């Protein structure tokens, strides 16, 4: 059974700094990797996803995947107070992502002004 773990559990970062969040998974056959963001009291919402090894950048956010290390990460450049939220990583076994997702427990991020 797929195991997905996130680190750290919580993180406080000063405004304007770089934030780095980590996620490890157990099954090397995993095909799809994603980050979701959940603001307090709100629904989780997909932020970014990646299928193949390497990096993908969207604005201030970069996702990095290393399948051999069973690890992917999310980096937030110039972190803003509005980035404060629970970040959930998710992994799917299915080709094209067509399978159910297994989520990590989350990293609670606080950006301090």
**Which chain residues interact with other proteins by CB under 8 A?**
32, 34, 42-46, 49, 88, 92, 94, 96-106
Of the pair 61, 103, the CB lying nearest other proteins is at 103
Nearest approach in angstroms of CB 16 to other proteins is 29
Largest separation between any pair of C-alpha atoms in the chain = 41
Instruction: For other proteins, give the closer residue by CB, 43 or 113.
Output: 43
Instruction: Tell me how many helices (H) and strands (E) the chain has.
Output: 0, 11
CB of 60 to other proteins, least distance (A): 20
Backbone φ and ψ for 66, nearest 5 degrees, come out as -130, 95
Q: Say if CB 85 and CB 37 are below 8 A apart.
A: yes
Choice between 96 and 113, CB closer to other proteins: 96
Q: Taking the mean position of all CA atoms in its chain, how far away is CA 15? A: 19
């Amino acid at each position: 059974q797929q195991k997905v773990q996130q680190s750290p559990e919580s993180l406080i970062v000063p405004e304007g700094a770089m934030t780095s969040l980590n996620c490890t998974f157990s099954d090397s056959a995993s095909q799809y990797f994603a980050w979701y963001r959940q603001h307090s009291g709100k629904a989780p919402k997909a932020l970014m996803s990646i299928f193949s090894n390497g990096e993908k950048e969207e604005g201030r956010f970069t996702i990095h995947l290393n399948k051999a290390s069973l690890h992917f990460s999310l980096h937030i450049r110039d972190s803003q107070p509005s980035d404060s939220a629970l970040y959930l990583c998710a992994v799917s076994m299915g080709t094209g992502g067509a399978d159910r997702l297994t989520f990590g427990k989350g990293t609670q991020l606080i950006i301090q002004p």
